[in-house]
Structure 1
Amino acid sequence: MSDHRLPPPGTVVRRTTARVLPVRPDGRVLLLHGWDPLKPQTPYWFTIGGGVEAGETVVQAASRELREEVGVHLPIESLGTPVATNTIEYEWGGCLVIQHQTFFAAAVEGVDVTFANQEQLELETISAHGWWYGDDLEATGQAAHVTIPGLLRQAADAITLRRAS
């Protein structure tokens, strides 16, 4: 969440987010490893992204979040059209989050991931990054949401098709 502080527990947070699935030539997708600040003992893997800010398009937000969360600079055009959208509900920081998500797939080669531009709350709740195949992630049972392994497969397929055309 891009908020600088957590809303009071019990708050219902509705947010529109832009998410990015960077895909390497081998088909693996970059994810972040972190946890709910109230449940640090239960870490999970999740997609890069965050809230769309006022005056921003969804694709602009996706590009900014990619830069802020992992230090990857990609032109907006390289994100193409969304590969998926969904709305999920989950609990985070004691709040119910109802999150509409738009996912973009981006082809990347060698990427130097850095957490240098993350906000304090992100630094406190994100420990690592990793490159995953959807099937492997599914097998761990550690995806933040049940939809993520399938999204990784969709992103890899979209990039494979884009590279082939």
Structure 2
Amino acid sequence: MRTEARKVARIVLLDPDDRVLLLHGFEPEDPATSWWFTPGGGLEGEETREEAAVRELAEETGIAGIALGPLLWTRICSFPFDGRRWDQDEWYFLARTTRTATDQKGLTELERRSVAGLRWWTSAELSATRETVYPTRLAELLRTLLDEGPPRVPLVLAPEIV
């Protein structure tokens, strides 16, 4: 199995009601294997993590023109997907938006084969779900973020190796 190593930028996007936007992904060869995840993706060319986060958000959700907030969390993860192993160094940025309408016309070919849609989640819905969500501690992390605000120094999350 080929390995893809990449730097990734993700956005924890909150609406005016403090709901977080998540995409619903699935394994292209096994759509029953699914999970929820934050918008974002790999850096392209010489772009910064911040530039990648904003670009990926626009491509995956149609929400553009957001101002990035602070870096919240970092993590290393590794997982099999679409016949490859992905080793990722992920940074999670906070952003807020008043726009909740989404448009997924900008998805890549692979994303069109592996993203079933998206939805806004409340903290309570995240805490109650039995569905897989990445990062796995997102419900707890979101609750802390909403209660205490962004951390003074980005949190380093435990690696997730699947």
The verdict on a shared fold, with TM-score over 0.5 as the criterion, is yes
Structure 1 residue corresponding to 2:104, chosen from 107, 115, 122: 115
1:152 partner amino acid: L
Counterpart CA distance in 1 for 2:129 and 2:143 is 16
Structure 1 outlier segments of 4+, above 6 Å? none
SS at match of 1:99: strand
* Structure 1 residue 56 displacement after superposition: 0.3
Mean alpha-carbon deviation: is it higher for 33-42 or for 149-158?
149-158
- Find out whether 1:23 has 2:48 as its counterpart: no
Counterpart CA distance in 2 for 1:120 and 1:135 is 33
Q: Which runs of 5+ in 2 are unaligned?
A: 151-162
- Find out whether 1:57 has 2:48 as its counterpart: yes
Aligned length: 148
Counterpart CA distance in 1 for 2:54 and 2:75 is 19
CA separation of 1:113/1:79 partners in 2, compared to 1, >3 Å: closer, same or farther?
same
TM-score computed with the length of structure 1 as normaliser: 0.80
1:141 partner amino acid: R
Instruction: State the identity as a percent.
Output: 34
Counterpart CA distance in 2 for 1:80 and 1:139 is 27
* Structure whose residues are more often strand by fraction: 2
Q: Do 2:80 and 2:86's aligned partners in 1 also have CA atoms closer than 8 Å?
A: yes
CA separation of 1:27/1:63 partners in 2, compared to 1, >3 Å: closer, same or farther?
same
* Structure 1 residue 45 displacement after superposition: 0.9
* Structure 1 residue 118 displacement after superposition: 1.0
Counterpart CA distance in 2 for 1:51 and 1:154 is 27
Counterpart CA distance in 1 for 2:48 and 2:146 is 24
Q: CA RMSD in A?
A: 1.9
